[in-house]
Amino acid sequence: MQLTLSSPLDMHLHLRDGKMLEIVAPLSAKEFAGALVMPNLVPPVTSKEMVQSYKERILQVCKDDRFTPYMSLFFLPEYDYEFLQELKDTILAIKLYPAGITTNSEGGVDNFSLEALAPTLEAMNELGIPLCVHGETNGFVMDREAEFIPIYERIAKRFPELKIIMEHITTKEAVDALMRFENLYATITLHHLHITLDDVAGGLLRPHLFCKPIAKRPEDRMALRKVAFMAHEKVMFGSDSAPHPRDKKEAPGCAAGIFTAPVALSALAQIFEEAGVLENLQKFVSDNAQKIYNITPPKKEVRLVKEPFEVPASYADVVPMFAGQELKWRVESVL
């Protein structure tokens, strides 16, 4: 049994920088035609020069592959129209992080009043720059995404022409909100389609499955699977693949993030086939994103075959999801 995916896209990817960038970026570039690269470096990517420099570093380590890094800017409330107009052709989106909510987000937003956010949002709205959001509050960990939904609603109502991407949604409440507003869209990860909180902490603690937003309940996973498996036009694949070295994961104060980039297509093919909807995977991993973001990625055909694939125990010092386990599909060739 074979499956060919045309120009697969990962619309939420962490590539880090330095040595980690050298390890993980080629693994995404090998199988994906493009990816939306997150800007939460240290320091965060907040200028045209920083965007261009980061893109050059990515391209340098991915030079052997046909791969487009779509760049994003770290949201600051004080961006104005002139500043963003100069950046418009350099970035695909602007990423908003609540302050301190996840890795390298300390410089994020701590005031979510529309008055505080309006200068940047108004400029984005006029220029047609999509807003990507890590939508969590600082409340109880299982409620953080649901508590953030009123903020999505306020922004969606105030700026009905602004495309707002609810990143890595994890709850039934988020899926419900997605359907209430025409200008809301969402990315869904492999790991949130696969696991629940029980997989993370129901038995022995599994640090390599710890992420933010944390995995939720079976009914939440079911809601995500429903829209993903039908490849609903408002959702697209975003891995949120977030590598950390082993000593940062297997440690007190475990870093949040699951490294899925090198196994994503194989694992997605497996769960879509098990659901009987393998024919919808193309839309989920490419076609929907092309329409939502109005992009044309490089042509790349990825052929998968239904043959066992044993996931490596690690890639350098980074442990992937399914490490040492056997998946039912493997990537046979990339053209």
Which residues belong to the active site? 240
- Cα dihedral 10→122→97→132 (10° resolution): -20
Element (H, E) at 144: helix 144-158
Distance CA 94, CA 163 (A): 11
Smallest Cα–Cα separation from 262: which of 246, 239, 279? 239
Select from 220, 297, 210 the least CA-distant residue to 255. 210
| Helix (H) or strand (E) segment spanning residue 70 | strand 68-74
| Nearest one of 215, 212, 210 to 251, comparing CA atoms | 210
Q: Is 198 exposed, middle or buried (0-12, 13-18, 19+ CB in 10 A)?
A: exposed
CB of 59 closer than 8 Å to CB of 51: no
